[in-house]
């Protein structure tokens, strides 16, 4: 099926030279080939198989082993909703999955604009099975695929996709409603990776969505990773969203409703929203970190939950993130309204029950470093605490928590809870409720722009403005600004706005040379000129009246010196700003 065109000029013929180029064939299904399998069998390296829009079912359109050469398989329209490979969604039928990639020669094969739906796999890979190959999936949907145990109580991996030793790339793909779990019978089985299970390799997910995928354990078994399970290797997550994924631990263990990590994960500009663990022993409403390294940069966690309210033992550990091993670094990230819930209403820090760490729970041998992040409204049952630091429960170990240039607010009187002998927290240049050891710890309203509208940027004059430590800003390891400099201090905030911005309404109370970094995930919003109180575009007598009225109303704007009080010094501060004028 290969078309070759050769051309030779007279001079080339004279010296017996020949110039050839190879052109790929287009193989059309079903107009030329009745099934996908028939077209794949007829293909050669470089060919393009084009599927007409429609639904592909039955023999020849599933359980397709991709050949040991590179090809492209795409829909004619590019719309995955219009081109669907549909398997039989019946438990008692023999399992049907769409594709198996098991040859390194198929690495680089592109699958584009196709939906893979209702596939099933015994033990692993309900929709697609990848072993030792690195295909590329673009604009694809993996929907309603599932994998169950190879035998009653056996483990199961990858409801949507299972891959091992693979550098596969998924770009603009959606994983919707995939499931992994053991056989529905008594036993101790588990299911890992409702959307995707990866073991080794270095895959990447770019602009992808994991939505409503789930994993479950059976009776005394365990379940983990409703969205993505990382068992070794390293993975890049870029602008990827995990939403409403779940793990159901029944009366067993449950880990990471969105993701469980025992490898290396870099997540940049990702969102984790409304993921949920349910069961008895719950670890990580969004992410469970077990071993390896997890880097979270410019990520947002909202309304994730580790919820054991329907059960009678233990509770939730880490409403957003639980870590009991490895190294976790968090920078420029936002944690809002995440929660850990326990079976009983009382806050009982014991080895029987309890809920710990509305946003983050640290245990075991994990090392966690938090920089330039904001935590708002996170809760742990009837316990206070956005962050919990456990030394004796549930696992003993040596671990550390280092937090700086951050804000923890609206999480009760004890935003950080420590349990067990030797528990201590290294916190510096932070806004925290209560009294804490460390440098520049402030118990003051951070003055968010509009919390009701989920705008957690800082108003001018915020006590967090120009109050951080420049030397505690982490390096731009992942080159957020794309300038090739990975050793400079992180130059952007969560909104990808400049990280070092001077707030003329705030004194420089932090450490370093101006401009001094703000506390929290966002830099202060400095729009226009601070003394232009009435926003008229010019400084005049009406700005003085405007400031006087704001002062009388105790408006945060009028706390010009950022002292937390409205007094004579605010008038002096405003007078100086007015005299300095607008640039």
185 — pLDDT class (breaks 50, 70, 90): low
- pLDDT score of 351 more than 80: no
- 93-102, 103-112, 413-422: least confident range: 413-422
554 — pLDDT class (breaks 50, 70, 90): confident
| Distance set, CA 383 to CA 308, 335, 345 (Å) | 14, 18, 9
DSSP 180: E
> Which sign, positive or negative, has the C-alpha torsion 287, 203, 242, 220?
negative
- pLDDT score of 4 more than 60: no
Over residues 514-539, the pLDDT tens digits come to 999 999 999 987 766 778 777 676 78
- pLDDT score of 370 more than 60: yes
Residue with the two structure tokens 């951080």: 468
pLDDT of residue 396: 47
Q: Which residue has the higher pLDDT, 392 or 485?
A: 485
Burial class (CB in 10 A: 0-12, 13-18, 19+), 369: middle
159 — pLDDT class (breaks 50, 70, 90): very high
Over residues 70-81, the pLDDT tens digits come to 999 999 999 999
| Distance set, CA 68 to CA 345, 378, 432 (Å) | 59, 51, 58
pLDDT of residue 436: 82
DSSP 364: T
Average pLDDT over residues 408-412: 87
Q: Tokens for 413?
A: 């009187």
Query: What's the mean pLDDT when you consider all of the chain?
Result: 85
- pLDDT score of 116 more than 90: yes
Cβ neighbors of 553 (< 8 A, separation 6 or more) are none
Judged by phi (left if over 0) then psi (alpha if -120 to 50, else beta), residue 205 lies in: beta
pLDDT of residue 268: 97
| Distance set, CA 57 to CA 50, 92, 96, 175, 275 (Å) | 16, 17, 10, 20, 33
Average pLDDT over residues 388-396: 57
What is the chain's percent helix, strand, coil content, to nearest 5? 10, 40, 55
DSSP 489: B
Q: How many CB atoms lie within 10 A of CB 185?
A: 12
pLDDT of residue 416: 84
34 — pLDDT class (breaks 50, 70, 90): very high
Alpha helices, DSSP H, located in 462-540: none
pLDDT of residue 392: 52
Say what the pTM is.
0.85
- pLDDT score of 349 more than 60: no
């Amino acid at each position: 099926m290969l078309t070759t065109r050769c051309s030779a000029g007279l001079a080339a013929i004279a010296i017996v030279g020949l110039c050839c180029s190879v052109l790929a064939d287009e193989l059309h299904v079903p107009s030329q080939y009745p099934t996908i399998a028939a077209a794949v069998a007829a293909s050669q390296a470089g060919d393009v198989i084009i599927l007409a829009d429609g639904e592909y079912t039955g023999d020849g359109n599933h359980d397709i082993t991709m050949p040991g050469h590179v090809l492209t398989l795409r829909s004619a329209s590019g719309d995955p909703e219009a081109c669907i490979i549909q398997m039989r969604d019946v438990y008692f039928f023999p399992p049907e999955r769409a594709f198996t990639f098991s040859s390194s020669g198929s690495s680089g094969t592109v699958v584009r604009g196709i939906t893979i739906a209702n596939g099933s796999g015994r033990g692993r890979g309900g929709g697609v099975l990848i072993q030792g190959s690195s295909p590329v999936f673009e604009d694809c949907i993996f929907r309603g695929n599932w994998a169950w145990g190879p035998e009653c109580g056996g483990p199961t991996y990858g409801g949507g996709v299972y891959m091992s030793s693979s550098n596969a790339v998924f770009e603009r793909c959606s994983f919707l409603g995939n499931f992994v779990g053991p056989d529905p019978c008594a036993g101790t089985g588990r299911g890992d990776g409702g959307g995707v299970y990866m073991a080794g390799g270095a895959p990447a997910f770019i602009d992808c969505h994991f939505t409503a995928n789930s994993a479950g354990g059976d009776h005394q078994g365990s379940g983990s990773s409703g969205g993505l399970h990382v068992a070794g290797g390293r993975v890049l997550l870029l602008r990827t969203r995990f939403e409403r994924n779940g793990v159901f631990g029944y009366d067993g263990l449950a880990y990471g409703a969105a993701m469980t990590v025992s490898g290396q994960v870099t997540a940049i500009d990702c969102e984790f929203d409304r993921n949920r663990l349910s069961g008895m022993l719950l670890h990580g409403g969004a992410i469970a970190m077990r071993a390896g390294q997890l880097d979270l940069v410019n990520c947002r966690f909202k309304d994730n939950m580790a919820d054991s309210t329907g059960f009678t033992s233990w509770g939730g550990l880490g409403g957003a993130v639980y870590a009991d091993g490895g190294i976790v670094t968090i920078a420029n990230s936002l944690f809002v309204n995440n929660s850990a819930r326990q079976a009983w209403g009382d806050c009982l820090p014991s080895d029987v029950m309890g809920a710990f760490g509305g946003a983050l729970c640290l245990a075991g041998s994990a090392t966690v470093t938090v920089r330039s992040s904001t935590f708002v409204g996170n809760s742990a049952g009837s316990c206070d605490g956005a962050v919990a630091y456990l030394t004796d429960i549930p696992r003993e170990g040596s671990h550390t928590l280092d937090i700086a240039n951050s804000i923890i607010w609206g999480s009760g009187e004890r935003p950080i809870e420590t349990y067990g002998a030797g528990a201590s927290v290294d916190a510096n240049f932070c806004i925290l409720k209560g009294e804490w050891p460390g440098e520049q710890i402030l118990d003051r309203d951070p003055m968010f722009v509009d919390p009701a509208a989920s705008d957690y940027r800082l108003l001018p004059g915020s006590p967090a403005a120009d109050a951080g430590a420049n030397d505690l800003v982490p390096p731009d390891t992942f080159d957020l600004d794309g300038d090739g400099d990975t050793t400079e201090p992180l130059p952007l905030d969560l909104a990808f706005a400049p990280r070092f911005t001077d707030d003329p309404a705030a004194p420089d109370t932090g450490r370093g040379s101006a401009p001094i970094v703000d506390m929290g995930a966002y830099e202060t919003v400095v729009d226009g000129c601070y003394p232009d109180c009435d926003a008229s575009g010019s400084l005049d007598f009406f700005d003085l009246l405007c400031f006087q009225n704001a002062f009388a109303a105790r408006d945060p704007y009028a706390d010009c010196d950022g002292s937390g009080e409205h007094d004579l010094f605010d008038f002096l501060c405003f007078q100086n700003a007015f005299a300095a004028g607008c640039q």
